[in-house]
Amino acid sequence: MSEFTYSGNKFCLNNKEFTIISGTIHYFRVLPEYWYDRLLKLKACGFNTVETYICWNLHERKEGVFDFEGRLDLVRFIKEATDLGLMIILRPGPYICAEFDFGGLPSWLMGYPNMKIRNNNLLFLSKLDSYLVRVFDLIRPFLITNGGNIIMLQVENEYGSYGNDKDYLKAVADIYRRNKMDVLLFTSDGGTEFMYTCGSIDGLLAASNFGSDPKQAFDVIKKYRPDQPLMCSEYWNGWFDHWYEEHHTRSGENTAQVLDEMFGMGASVNFYMFHGGTNFGFTNGANHFGKYQSTITSYDYDAPLSECGDLTEKYYQIKAIIEKRFSISENIEVQNSTKIAYGNVELNEFASLFDVLPEPKKSPSIMTMEETGQDFGYILYSTELVGPIPNMPLVLEDVHDRAHIFVNGELKGIIERSHRKDEVRVNLEVGEIIKLDILVENMGRINFGPYMFDKKGILGGVRLGDMNHFGWKIYNLPLDILPQSYFKEVKNTPIFLRGYFNAEIIGDTFLYLDNFTKGIAFINGFNLGRYYTTAGPQKSLYVPAPLIKKGLNEIVVFETDGFESNVISFKELHNLG
């Protein structure tokens, strides 16, 4: 039987010393058609291991309904890594952070009144147990103890940055053990004593996460775990972006220098990220450090492989350090993908959102997305106001995250969490009636810190002055299904626009929406993610080649704010700001 363990400060693979040189590639942020390419480039760079989180929120979007197919085919990803001879580290969570919606937790958890996440809450643990049983049944044949290549499993994730409930950590570890996850289990936490000690438990290897100053972090490991190997389980060699920020970069020279330091200390390393990929659809998360900040669609992370899988200067500088320290036995040829500029496309078919609404739920009071069973997308609240109303302010209590306020179909104001709060007043004569529509976008649930229980929609109700308004129609708009009927007449936003382009040659491309403001884009029904042209830094959306068909291709844009022209463009170069 194969085994992976450690003795003193050395990892051992089948009784031979083994230095983990690992890179993170999230299967759920990369199309399956590109998994092999990204994994091959990992191996060609000299890495011997791949690491990935497992995302509960996508594998179980609806409670009890599991999805491990297509983009979520975890087994296929494991097999492709195994075929390349890569060792595998899996991090099932339940919490994964990852700048992913709700830190990878499913939003339906928030629909339970007594739910408390990430602590020794029996309700939370029971839901977790049901999910992990499914995951473990899938991965068990691939554990190294069963002849596979999975050498390590992480229990929880950076728990020392969230809480100190050791009973909870032990309960999660017990779920692993009951399901015969008999490989090396570990925790990972920030490199300070406080986080490291709060997030680790006896009996599990404890690794550290950081981007610089390895000596400081490794000194903490040596102090509290002198008889285990040094491991940086997340080497932050780049960083992620929020809307309204500058694009983050880190030099390859500095990245390689710190890596060399860690190898010189005898440490094992996992690059976070080796290849960042994309927050397709509505899957991006958010942070809240004094204000709400939504993460952009691109998860390029300034990683060694770019968002589209291209080899960067950082890639070669890292490879040189690995070659110097360990030598790279195989010379594997890898190359960048073909890029195509498909040019301008005119979107000349239109459908108003208000003309294609689904059947509503009726409720006396406002309900959140979670209370209606919705996870991603938009939610629309509709009602009528009847006069007399004497010039009173319309108050939306606690908008999560961005609300458009329409009166009789005309936009009157926008409220964006932490960024904008237009005043809207209502002044009606006796018997005068207006239609009020409030479209709210879920811009991503908070994925880190104390404010993670981040419900979406309008949380506290709608008032006229101090008076609560009741009597609502609520429309769930996850946009899993796009409108089928379009017209030539341009209508007011929010609006769907549709156009077509022909592709004779297939390649990666980048979608520019310079004439648009804010919304989402679809190609052949696939949700590419959000654009927010006026906020930046991201100016283009990555369109992977497998989404493009030879011949006619459909592009749909859902615009909420307004557009200057109905022309979009496909170019060869990405612009992340």
Which positions are annotated as active-site residues?
A: 158, 234
Residues in the chain: 577
- Cross-strand partners of 388: none
Which positions ≥6 away from 15 have C-beta within 8 Å? 3
Q: What is the DSSP string of 343-391?
A: EEEE--EEEEGGGS--PPEEESS---HHHHT--SSEEEEEEEEES-EEE
- Report how far Cα 142 is from the mean position of its chain's Cα atoms: 26
Share of the chain residues as helix, strand and coil, in percent rounded to the nearest 5: 25, 35, 40
DSSP string covering 384-397: EEES-EEEEEEEE-
**Type of residue at 319:** K
Separation CA 181–CA 178 (nearest Å)? 8
CA distance 351 to 159: 46
Q: Using omega within 30 degrees of 0 as the cis cutoff, is the peptide bond preceding 273 cis?
A: yes
User: What single DSSP character describes residue 286?
Assistant: E
Helix (H, G, I), strand (E, B) or coil at 324: helix
Give residue 285's identity as a one-letter amino acid code: G
Number of Cβ within 10 Å of residue 262's Cβ equals 22
Q: How far is CA 563 from CA 491, 536, 574, in A?
A: 11, 16, 21
Say how far apart CA 283 and CA 296 lie, in whole Å.
10
Q: Are 439 and 494 in contact (CB under 8 A)?
A: yes
Nearest-Å Rg of the Cα atoms of the chain is: 25
Looking at the DSSP bridge assignments, the partners of residue 140 are: none
How many Å apart are CA 484 and CA 153, to the nearest integer? 45
- Among candidate residues 240, 276, 274, 280, the one with its CA nearest the CA of residue 511: 280
Residue labelled with tokens 């993610």: 529
- Is the dihedral angle over the CA atoms 108, 113, 117, 120 positive or is it negative? negative
Q: Which helix (H) or strand (E) holds 264?
A: helix 252-264
Cα 218 from Cα 230, distance rounded (Å): 6
